[in-house]
Amino acid sequence: MNIAGGVSSTSTSGAVNIAGGDKGGGTSGDGGGVNIRGGVVANNATSAGSISVIGGTAGDGGAGGTPGSVTVAGGATIRNIASTGGTVLIRGGENDGGSGAFTGGSVTVRGGNGANGTGGGAGGAGGGCSILGGTPVEGNGGTITITGSNGVGTDRNGGDITLTPGNSTGTGSRGAIKFDGRYQGKQGTDITAANDIILTVGNYFDITGATQINTISGTDWRAGSMITLQFDSNPVVANLTAGTGAQIRLNGGANFSTTAGSTLTLIYDGTLWKEIARMTA
């Protein structure tokens, strides 16, 4: 199915508006939903239909126009009662696979491409992509949560979340990932000291018990990861001692005899955990 606004060579192209019905009157009720989806493929057939929602292209004559925008918004809640605005769900198509394993459809949200000016003029920047929490009339701002999907089945991993800045195709710099607010990490569950320890989810851990620590598992950690261990007792952290996990390289090449309240911060290089800081209580 293709729904498109009218094409114009001399003025603004026609807009396309797909909206659920409004609920009027003085009583509460639900607004009409909007469902746009690609075709469904069942069993052993090939690909499901794709969905593209793309703003219209501006013409290049004269000064040039502005490409059409795309807005996907949940329904508004009106009146002076406490209620929740409509939800927006954008998801890839589901695969109802047959005898084999089939991958569900992906979702790509991206800004439009820039183009060179006519006659070799300066190129335009690519369009940005913004994900914004809703703005309240009065109250807390909307939270944005990005969650990888859970793995299902024995030994199946949960989905990763990867933030990758853009590269330059010329001599420009690679883009950066910037946090304008406070970066807040996570404290993992308490870990009992042992010769070989395995950390849970998080980057800050309380270590209980006094058994010597020789290695820390590097499984599910990538090079560049940092952790901080806080000790509730006085275990010895051994320098470059073999075990089942990744060995620990400590400053000065000597074991660290911890005391209750001391901390040790390490960075993983893909092979070893290397000390970058310690605090003694």
pLDDT for 275 equals 98
The reply to whether 128 and 161 lie within a common domain is yes
Q: State the average pLDDT over residues 72-100.
A: 55
Give the span between the Cα atoms of 159 and 149, in whole angstroms.
5
Return d(Cα 62, Cα 182) in angstroms, integer.
46
Could you tell me the CATH number of the domain that includes residue 203?
A: 2.60.120
Same domain? 85 vs 151: yes
Tens digits of residue pLDDT in 192-213:
999 999 999 999 999 999 999 9
Q: What are phi and psi of 39, to 5 degrees?
A: -65, 150
Q: What is the pLDDT confidence band of residue 177, given thresholds at 50, 70 and 90?
A: confident
Residues 138 and 197 in one domain: no
Let me know whether 212 and 243 are in one domain: yes
Whole-structure pTM over 0.75, yes or no?
A: no
Does 21 fall in a domain?
Answer: no
Indicate whether 163 and 249 sit together in one domain.
Answer: no
Same domain membership, residue 208 and residue 152: no
More reliable by pLDDT, 69 or 277: 277
**How far is residue 210's CA from residue 206's CA, in Å, rounded to a whole number?**
12
Residues 103 and 143 both lie in one domain: yes
Question: What residues contact residue 106 under an 8 Å CB cut-off, 6+ apart?
Answer: 92
Summarize the confidence of residues 14-28 as an average pLDDT.
57
pLDDT of residue 80: 45
Query: Which pLDDT does position 114 carry in this prediction?
Result: 62
Indicate whether 44 and 164 sit together in one domain: yes
Domains contained in the chain, number? 2
Please indicate, yes or no, whether residues 47 and 147 belong to a single structural domain of this protein: yes
Residue 208 belongs to what domain range?
Answer: 191-279
pLDDT digits (tens, 9 = 90+) for 126-148: 666 777 777 777 777 777 788 87
Is 60's pLDDT higher than 60?
no
| Whether residue 243 sits in one domain with residue 207 | yes
pLDDT at residue 178, as a whole number:
84
Same domain, 50 and 158: yes
Do 146 and 204 share a domain, yes or no?
Answer: no
